[in-house]
Structure 1
Amino acid sequence: MLSPAWSSMRSAVRLLPRRTRAGGCIWCRHISMKTGGLKPKTVPSRYLGQPSPFTHPHLIKHGEVTPGVTQTEYELRRQKLALLIEAHTNTLGPSASSGNHVVIVLSHPIRYMTNDIPYPFHQNQDFLYLTGFLEPDSALVLYGRTRPDQAILFVPRRDPGRELWDGPRAGKDGAAALTGVERVHSIEELGLVLKSLKGTQLWYDTSQPAHSRLHQAHVFPLLEAGPVPRSLRPLLHSLRAIKSPAEVSLMQTAGRITAQAFRRTMALSQGDVDESVLFAKFDFENRIHGANFLAYPPVVAGGNRANTLHYINNNQIIKDGEMVLLDGGAEYFGYVSDITRTWPVNGRFSPAQAELYEAVLEVQRSCLSLCSPGVSLDHIYSTMLALLGRQLKRLGVLKAGTSDADVLKAARRYCPHHVGHYLGMDVHDTPDLSRSQPLQPGMVITIEPGLYICEDNDQAPEHFRGLGVRIEDDVVIREKGGPLVLSCSAPKTITDVEKACGMG
């Protein structure tokens, strides 16, 4: 059951997308007037350290900050967050709802694998969600009386010496023109500005600061002098959970790219093959068709290794006659896919493999049919366990007379993970959101039942031992028309999988 505070927050957000008779969103029209409508600041012609409409017109249209997402949408996100904070504080009484509020969101720093060799930079998704700004060592501050709806962006200052080695920076002018945020300061000014705002309520997540150096230098002194901050994460993740049409479109592209990578990786399966070769092929096909990089280290697990759920060594030979379980996804301009397929590396399912595969596929189809508003992931999970239990009895893995309670225990043992999770800017997106809450239109989830029968399991029929099958799709919850399966073009039926394997 939702708390009164959460209900108030949802009510506040529902007020935002009201449509006028002439069409368009009232709130968006307000924002357009405030930011000058379709007349943003001229974006500098120089490279800003990230794609812009001037340097990357093939990717970004006029008025967009990142591909497909406009300045207006980013400002709308910040305004929605301000309304959530206002609704939340109103439930806490007059003392909490009066006075200034200050929100702080830090970017990620550059992280190093050794000495001065950096890992590829990946932005803090919460910061990215509110700004679209991709540079490290940055910060966003929102402030205001009652409602924190005034924005200040802090960015690294331009430094020709550093840019010689690390590449161009946006600087204050570039960041302002690109993001549409009017007030932009250098990051060195963060502490001074925070002190001047004198917020009576600070919104900031202290448990795991996104940027430890900025936290220590600029935010920590504020924490020592003031009241305990309130966590921003639950409110922000409640917004991130509901995807806009622009976000769904980006996730459709990520799903389409990954599905094609699966198809072409299957075509490489002609018998004995090294897991590392399939890994390399999958990575290549994702990147060459537009993915920025893989969303996570993929599982490429041949034979019995498919029964190790997080197997990512990907360095052994898959023998002719064995299956491979590949769990992988792409990141496309901040949004990810997460798909799993299982197939025989010689291109043909054996009778036992086909029987186990069809059992999982039937359960997956049933779970997909439940993906609608008002149904929770936990409810789909309970249904999955019941259906897997029936399949285990039908396959002879469980005896016909096994009690219902023991069937459910066995289902949990043969499928020790949940049916799915939220998906979006991260693979396990918005993890603080309960999987027992009702699904809403715009949420994106995975549906991924599996059956895993280890080779040393002497309780299962011998012909199933050493087989592991998981089938995973990415699904958008819709008000009408049923779920939208973003990964639908990845081969899934036995006929389609075998056909894809024969394309090599």
Structure 2
Amino acid sequence: MLINTYVIRSRILLSKQLICQKNKFYSKLVEANSGDINKIQRCIGQPTHYSHPHLIKDDEITPMIKKDEYRTRRQNLMNRIGEFSRNQLNSMKNFVVILPSASKKYMSDKIPYFFRQNTEFLYLTGCQEPDSCLVLTSRGSEHYSSLLFVQGTDVHSELWDGPRICPSKVEHHFGIEKGLKMEEFENYLQLFLKSNPGVVMWYDLFSIVQENVDNVIKNILKVRSNMLQSPRFFVDQQRLIKSPSEIELMRKSCQIASEAIVSTIESSHPGNNEYEIFAKVDYECRMKGAEYLAYPPVIAGGKRANIIHYITNNQLVNDDEMVLMDVGCEYHGYSSDITRTWPIGGKFTNEQKELYQAVLETQLQVIDLCKNFCSLDSLFDSMCKILGKKLQQIGLIPKSISEDALVKYAYKFCPHHVSHYLGMDVHDTPSVTRNIPVKPGMIITIEPGVYIPENNESVPRNYRGLGIRIEDDILITENGPEILTKYCPKDVDDIEQVASKQLQ
């Protein structure tokens, strides 16, 4: 008994000594470098100025984009919706905007796909956490409240998936007024609607981003008759015109993809498998700073170039064939989209060169038309006329047809639009029509092509099976179009020089 008491007392004394030593250690650590503790405390599951000073500057939430820009985006959205509510809905009541983040998706049990944030949510918050939700509520005509619902810290989950932001840190990190746990979302919304009878809810019910949020909204609508509107169009309208910081991010994304494509073409040679070319361009984009490719790339050798969305990428490319590669990268949330076509053997055949030159000249003329600030649909109509005449000169389209018939013929050779909006998503702002005039700050693609299936017996045999597309990313400015992908060669001589480098 005496021995046991002695042992217990010894252990207590030792424990107190260890605690004292530990406290002294942390006191010295804090005294020596309190900044390190701050860095640990401010780790929130995505890069910050404290954890990634090489990427993010002070007061930036994401690279090159500051808190003030995110605040301005939210304010502008609320102003637009408020104005629409007053003028079109004849409503002077308060309203609430609900924008969920994406959820994690799983390829199999507990094995997640790589997470990509819902870009509407990301555009307004800069937050990369899954299963979160932004709620904006109006307070009078020009004021609003912002809340960010997050999962909150959880020791077990963070062991597997990494740190999460605590709701109390939301204001500091994201400049959003208040943070709450996602488990409080339904109760908060119910109380807000109860306190504001007849309030209009702005939520996109037809595009489910997060099932938990969607279920809450649907359950509320079963018992309440609140008017529901989608905020997507208003968000897309804002995203359509890029800020100076967004333009710089787009320039960098386009430069990275352009340089990666050049390196890929240089290393290509007859006998390559398409997936080898895929691996090379993916590697080059990542090594130059991109997080990942912006979409599954098209690496189409030979006749497979006539499959416009060919992404199988598993065939060999023969000596006399061309490769059509449609690829882009995502750089800190902003996408590039480029297509180049080159001869795997280093030299175009006569028919390949003739057809390539027709597509290139068409593209250059359509790019030049951007200075007139016409719509994307107008550019498409012009492309069909220009390309049709080029193909008439080659002899692929009869010369004795009307202009209307010429456009229809050209469309058969190029059955896709010549342009789409580009930004955080590859097909950006899809709710915005393509029949509005382009404006400075918009970024678009220009991508004419010609596709001739092997079974097209209306053209000479040597042209059958050929597929060519040339695509560049264009910034609309007051002074005319700026080609953001200018670092990626496309003239015949330049393409042949780059393509033959591996063979020299």
Counterpart of 1:503 in structure 2 is 501
Counterpart of 1:469 in structure 2 is 468
Matched, 1:307 2:306: yes
Matched, 1:440 2:439: yes
Q: Is the Cα contact below 8 Å between 1:347 and 1:502 reproduced in 2?
A: yes
Q: Is the Cα contact below 8 Å between 2:366 and 2:383 reproduced in 1?
A: yes
Bigger mean CA deviation after superposition, 83-92 or 296-305 = 83-92
| In structure 1, distance between residues paired with 2:89 and 2:77 | 19
| In structure 2, distance between residues paired with 1:370 and 1:146 | 45
Q: Once the two structures are superposed, what CA deviation does each residue of 1:86-121 show, in whole Å capped at 9, x if it has no partner?
A: 221121264x1x121100000011001111111000
Counterpart of 2:125 in structure 1 is 131
Q: Is the Cα contact below 8 Å between 2:329 and 2:337 reproduced in 1?
A: yes
Q: Once the two structures are superposed, what CA deviation does each residue of 1:468-494 show, in whole Å capped at 9, x if it has no partner?
A: 1100000111112x1111111111111
Q: Is the Cα contact below 8 Å between 2:367 and 2:481 reproduced in 1?
A: yes
Q: Is the Cα contact below 8 Å between 2:145 and 2:177 reproduced in 1?
A: no
- Once the two structures are TM-superposed, the CA of residue 45 in structure 1 deviates from its matched residue by 4.5
| In structure 2, distance between residues paired with 1:149 and 1:258 | 40
Counterpart of 2:422 in structure 1 is 423
Q: Secondary structure at the match of 2:277?
A: helix
AA paired with 1:130? Answer: L
Q: Secondary structure at the match of 1:341?
A: strand
- Once the two structures are TM-superposed, the CA of residue 321 in structure 1 deviates from its matched residue by 1.0
Q: How does 1:92-491 map to 2 (within 5 A)?
A: 92=88, 94=90, 96=91, 98-147=92-141, 149-198=144-193, 199=196, 200-216=199-215, 218-224=216-222, 225-372=224-371, 374-480=373-479, 482-491=480-489
Q: Is the Cα contact below 8 Å between 1:373 and 1:479 reproduced in 2?
A: no
Counterpart of 1:47 in structure 2 is 43
Counterpart of 1:73 in structure 2 is 69
AA paired with 1:176? Answer: E
| In structure 1, distance between residues paired with 2:169 and 2:53 | 16
Q: Is the Cα contact below 8 Å between 1:44 and 1:177 reproduced in 2?
A: no
- Once the two structures are TM-superposed, the CA of residue 74 in structure 1 deviates from its matched residue by 0.3
| In structure 1, distance between residues paired with 2:233 and 2:278 | 35
- Once the two structures are TM-superposed, the CA of residue 139 in structure 1 deviates from its matched residue by 0.4
Instruction: Rate the CA distance shift 1:373–1:332 in 2: closer, same or farther, 3 A.
Output: farther
Q: Secondary structure at the match of 1:52?
A: coil
Q: 1:494 aligns with which of 492, 500, 504?
A: 492
| In structure 2, distance between residues paired with 1:277 and 1:163 | 37
| In structure 2, distance between residues paired with 1:242 and 1:405 | 34
Q: Is the Cα contact below 8 Å between 2:170 and 2:178 reproduced in 1?
A: no
Matched, 1:90 2:86: yes
AA paired with 1:132? Answer: G
| In structure 2, distance between residues paired with 1:171 and 1:496 | 54
Bigger mean CA deviation after superposition, 190-199 or 122-131 = 190-199
| In structure 1, distance between residues paired with 2:390 and 2:235 | 40
| In structure 2, distance between residues paired with 1:314 and 1:222 | 47
Instruction: Rate the CA distance shift 1:228–1:119 in 2: closer, same or farther, 3 A.
Output: same
- Once the two structures are TM-superposed, the CA of residue 122 in structure 1 deviates from its matched residue by 0.6
Q: Is the Cα contact below 8 Å between 2:106 and 2:113 reproduced in 1?
A: yes
Q: Is the Cα contact below 8 Å between 1:43 and 1:174 reproduced in 2?
A: no
| In structure 1, distance between residues paired with 2:167 and 2:395 | 67
- Once the two structures are TM-superposed, the CA of residue 409 in structure 1 deviates from its matched residue by 1.2
- Once the two structures are TM-superposed, the CA of residue 176 in structure 1 deviates from its matched residue by 2.7
Q: Once the two structures are superposed, what CA deviation does each residue of 1:417-439 show, in whole Å capped at 9, x if it has no partner?
A: 00110011111111111100111
Instruction: Rate the CA distance shift 1:71–1:453 in 2: closer, same or farther, 3 A.
Output: same
Q: Secondary structure at the match of 1:372?
A: helix
Aligned residues: 459
Instruction: Rate the CA distance shift 1:370–1:149 in 2: closer, same or farther, 3 A.
Output: farther
| In structure 2, distance between residues paired with 1:111 and 1:208 | 16
- Once the two structures are TM-superposed, the CA of residue 402 in structure 1 deviates from its matched residue by 2.6
| In structure 1, distance between residues paired with 2:182 and 2:56 | 26
Instruction: Rate the CA distance shift 1:373–1:409 in 2: closer, same or farther, 3 A.
Output: closer
| In structure 1, distance between residues paired with 2:236 and 2:258 | 27
Q: Secondary structure at the match of 2:370?
A: coil
| In structure 2, distance between residues paired with 1:367 and 1:137 | 43
Instruction: Rate the CA distance shift 1:221–1:44 in 2: closer, same or farther, 3 A.
Output: farther
Q: Is the Cα contact below 8 Å between 1:234 and 1:433 reproduced in 2?
A: yes
Instruction: Rate the CA distance shift 1:185–1:43 in 2: closer, same or farther, 3 A.
Output: farther
Q: Is the Cα contact below 8 Å between 1:272 and 1:346 reproduced in 2?
A: no
Q: Which has the larger radius of gyration?
A: 2
Instruction: Rate the CA distance shift 1:81–1:373 in 2: closer, same or farther, 3 A.
Output: farther
Q: Is the Cα contact below 8 Å between 2:39 and 2:51 reproduced in 1?
A: no
AA paired with 2:178? Answer: R
- Once the two structures are TM-superposed, the CA of residue 223 in structure 1 deviates from its matched residue by 2.5
AA paired with 1:456? Answer: N
Q: Once the two structures are superposed, what CA deviation does each residue of 1:208-261 show, in whole Å capped at 9, x if it has no partner?
A: 221012321x33333232323111111111111110011111111110000011
| In structure 1, distance between residues paired with 2:387 and 2:274 | 28
AA paired with 1:501? Answer: A
| In structure 1, distance between residues paired with 2:285 and 2:169 | 31
- Once the two structures are TM-superposed, the CA of residue 303 in structure 1 deviates from its matched residue by 0.4
Instruction: Rate the CA distance shift 1:145–1:173 in 2: closer, same or farther, 3 A.
Output: closer
| In structure 2, distance between residues paired with 1:55 and 1:63 | 13
Unaligned stretches of 5+ residues in structure 1:
1-41
Larger relative helix fraction? 2
| In structure 2, distance between residues paired with 1:135 and 1:56 | 17
Superposed CA RMSD in Å reads 1.4
| In structure 2, distance between residues paired with 1:78 and 1:399 | 55
| In structure 1, distance between residues paired with 2:157 and 2:284 | 34
Q: Secondary structure at the match of 1:177?
A: helix
Q: Once the two structures are superposed, what CA deviation does each residue of 1:262-283 show, in whole Å capped at 9, x if it has no partner?
A: 1011011222211010011011
Q: Is the Cα contact below 8 Å between 1:441 and 1:478 reproduced in 2?
A: yes
AA paired with 1:159? Answer: D
Q: 2:59 aligns with which of 52, 56, 63?
A: 63
Instruction: Rate the CA distance shift 1:346–1:163 in 2: closer, same or farther, 3 A.
Output: same
Q: Tell me the percent identity.
A: 44
Q: Is the Cα contact below 8 Å between 1:323 and 1:345 reproduced in 2?
A: yes
